[in-house]
Amino acid sequence: MTPYVVPFAIYIVLSLVAGYFENGAYFMYPIKTLLVAASLWYYRAEYPELRCGIRPAQVFTAAVVGVAVFAIWVIPEGWYPHLDSSEFNPFFTNNTPVQWLLIFFRTTGAALVVPVFEELFWRSFLLRWTISPDFKQVALGKFTWISFAVVALLFGFEHHRWLVGIVAGVIYAALLYREKNLWTCIVAHGVTNLALGLYVLKTGQWSFW
């Protein structure tokens, strides 16, 4: 359990700690990205589900799913109430190198690091742990209504935009049930986050970050 929980816990705890400091979200994001990445590397031998590889056809399917989730994330904006969220605007400072550093860490962190630790936690660990505490004996992608509903709801409410978060959780889980491959969820999640990052940089709608 520890290798799945620790990276997720580091990210959540440091996100909460950042709220106690002025501009904490900005200087804490590179720190938590590096620490989470380091923890994933440290525990890399504990993730057998990441050693299976992914076929080109699965990459394509995952990319299509990722783009679809991105569209679902942004199109309903303003249609439903969501939890208050702060903006991550790298241009809060006039220091150009700092701006680019923040953009780099926010984009790469969201596209490369977040999908790995979140999918390991939500779709590999918790989806199976809600079926049995001895989760490694549960086949990856095994479906039960209870585990499916619990994880989709919790994943949704982890995000400020809870409604589309729930829908995203349902779609990523469906992808896992279909492909039985966690990499498809990681790729889809990464594509969603990368597309969202590019959208934010293009439109300046920083609340999506």
8 domain-assigned: no
Cα(63)–Cα(74) distance, integer angstroms: 17
166 falls within a domain: yes
- Return d(Cα 209, Cα 207) in angstroms, integer: 5
pTM of the model: 0.94
Decide if 43 is inside a domain.
Answer: no
**Quick one: pLDDT at residue 84?**
67
Q: Is residue 36 part of a domain?
A: no
**Within a domain: residue 27?**
no
Domain that holds residue 99: 52-208
* Both structure tokens of 7: 């990276």
pLDDT tens digits, one per residue of 8-52? 999 999 999 998 888 888 999 999 999 999 999 999 999 999 999
In angstroms, how far apart are the furthest CA atoms of the chain? 53
Cβ(186)–Cβ(115) below 8 Å: yes
Write the DSSP assignment of 2-51 as a string of letters: HHHHHHHHHHHHHHHHHTTSTTHHHHHHHHHHHHHHHHHHHTGGG-GGGS
User: pLDDT tens, 98-122?
Assistant: 999 999 999 999 999 999 999 999 9
**Which residue, 174, 172, 152, is CA-closest to 163?**
152
Whether 183 is covered by a domain: the verdict is yes
Domain presence at residue 120: yes
* 45 occurs within a structural domain: no
Q: Shortest CA distance to 35 belongs to which of 91, 95, 109, 128? A: 109
* CB proximity list for 170: less than 8 A, separation 6 or greater: 148, 152
Q: How many domains does the chain have?
A: 1
pLDDT at 122: 98
